[in-house]
Amino acid sequence: MKKIRFGLHTKMAVLSFGSILIALFSSGLLVIERVASQLENEMGMRALAIARTLAQMEDIQHNVGKPGGEVVIQPLAERIRLATGVAYVVVLDNNGVRYSHPVQDRIGKKFSGEDMAYAIVAGGEYVSQAEGVLGPSVRAFVPVKVDEGTRQVGVVVVGILTPTIYSVLQNIRLELYYTLVIGLVVGLAGSVYLAQRIKRGMFNLEPEEIARLLEERVALLESISEGIIHIDRYARITLMNRAAYRITGVTDAIGKPVQEIIPNTGLLRVLASGEPEYNQEMIINGVTIVTNRIPVRVGGQTVGAVATFRDKSEVQRLAEELTGVKRFIEALRVQNHEYLNKLHTIAGLIQLNRHQEAVDFIFAVTAEQQELTQFLSRRIKDYGIAGLLMGKHSRAKELKIDFEIDRNSKLAYLPRTIDSSAMVIIIGNLLENAFEAVKGLEPSQRKVYLGLFTEGAGIRLVVGDSGPGLPDVLKETVFQPGFTTKLPPNSGLGLSLVRNCVDLAGGTIEIAKSPLGGAQFVVTIKNGEAKHDHQHVDC
């Protein structure tokens, strides 16, 4: 693996270095081209200035175009050529005949070059480039005029040989070498640094490893049965797995604002507040779901939010299975403890030769259990609730609590606004709180009452105890999540779950003073419309 990583690091550095080398080479060519062009412009201006000076000399003005004029003009032109260092100074008459030239044999012959016509015909001065006898040059044409500039008698041509790229390189080769070396060193160091930064940014992973991790992540997200939606800081959806598409009923959501896909989403609230929300209930596409929303933070800043959600019916089914198992285990544990005590009692009576008392004790225990079983099976038609009450009755006996189930209790059916699992949560938490309230009293004073009645199209549940009761100032506070008067590990969520289940069922819950002396909770649920408050925690 180290060899692969080193190879990738080297490739990245070489690629970056090659890019810098090409950039340096290209920029060097552009600079040289620019320098050569600038030199040509400067040479052209210099040649034009010299030509203007020659055109103003009287010796040239009076002798050009006249027989024997070259005798005066040639020495003068050569002196100026040698003094200024130009390539050539050529004086022409209006017919293009030379009166001066660096090559003596060309004097008296016609000037070659189509760029001369404008100076003779139009009488204008200008600079042009041409390939002359001595090589490529830039040359300036200035007309020679007499009679105060009214009559043209010839043209002065001054040429300067232009440098080739090779000659320019020769002149600046040392500077060029220094620049290239410094550029290459800086480029190499920058390439290595850039490669290292990129590697660190990729968590020192190889491209093959990144591709594999991406494939694994996609497979993992698609295998999860819960829906997953992630939004960025602009509330646009960046990730959505198959389960989320199935639950929301959409087919294309990536890149769209989340409120277009889920109008009642709570992700915007989490994105703004940066606070997570757990076990929230809401409706999407006609499906009641339970969702968790968590902000995504990078460097202490909230850069997005993610929601995981699941069909509530699936959650309820799993909860019912889990609750049933826990309830069954608790009932078995309590009954095991209870019957061990009874067996010990029977064994003791037999050892004391109290056979009749042992028989009477057995019949008494059997009759009590039989009576409770028959009562619950006859009056409570929901087996989950009946099983819960049976288990709580055994639990109360273990805690030496006088647990009375009103013999007028009757549950013929559950309202359609609530199901068995929610009722188990309500009854179980209220009874556990009642048991906790009386557990610190003397055994003779530990009393808990439960009544469950069918009233018209609804039900009424009453749970009272002989405990210390609740002050009026706490009657609303007790329903807040996390509030508890008990010692750890109690979480303070029991009554909050009860309140939420009751609210979702469209019911009411009241706290009063129990005839037993403590607190009394009265839950009323009618067969009306259930509430779907998205802000409540799922019960």
Q: Residues 149-171: pLDDT tens digits? A: 788 889 999 988 876 655 656 66
pTM of the model as a whole: 0.42
Q: What is the mean pLDDT of residues 73-78?
A: 90
What does the pLDDT read at residue 537?
Answer: 39
Higher-confidence residue of 14 and 535: namely 14
Residue 84 has pLDDT above 60, yes or no: yes
Q: What is the mean pLDDT of residues 405-432?
A: 89
Residue 34: in which H helix or E strand, if any? helix 2-55
Which of the given ranges, 197-206, 217-226, 244-253, 331-340, has the highest pLDDT on average? 244-253
- Distance of alpha carbon 158 from alpha carbon 85, whole angstroms: 11
Q: How confident is the model at residue 491 (pLDDT cuts 50, 70, 90)?
A: very low
What does the pLDDT read at residue 3?
Answer: 43
* Sequence letter at residue 231: I
169 by Cβ neighbours in 10 Å (0-12 / 13-18 / 19+) ranks as middle
What does the pLDDT read at residue 536?
Answer: 37
Q: What is the mean pLDDT of residues 298-310?
A: 88
Higher-confidence residue of 327 and 147: namely 147
Higher-confidence residue of 442 and 361: namely 442
Higher-confidence residue of 93 and 478: namely 93
What does the pLDDT read at residue 300?
Answer: 82
Q: In what order do the strands lie in the sheet with 301-311?
A: 237-240, 227-232, 301-311, 287-298, 277-284
Convert the pLDDT of each residue in 16-49 to its tens digit.
666 666 766 776 667 667 766 777 788 888 888 9
What does the pLDDT read at residue 431?
Answer: 92
Q: What is the rounded average pLDDT for all residues in the chain?
A: 79
Residue 380 has pLDDT above 50, yes or no: yes
List the structure tokens of 496.
Answer: 């909050």
Q: How confident is the model at residue 347 (pLDDT cuts 50, 70, 90)?
A: confident
Q: What is the mean pLDDT of residues 339-363?
A: 73
What does the pLDDT read at residue 13?
Answer: 59
Percent of the chain with pLDDT over 70: 77
List the structure tokens of 208.
Answer: 């093959």
Q: Are strands 447-455 and 402-405 parallel, antiparallel or unpaired?
A: parallel
What distances in angstroms separate CA 337 from CA 233, 331, 397, 444, one per listed residue?
57, 10, 10, 21
- Distance of alpha carbon 452 from alpha carbon 392, whole angstroms: 14
What does the pLDDT read at residue 447?
Answer: 95
- Spatial CA neighbour of 464 closest among 388, 526, 403, 389: 403
What does the pLDDT read at residue 43?
Answer: 83
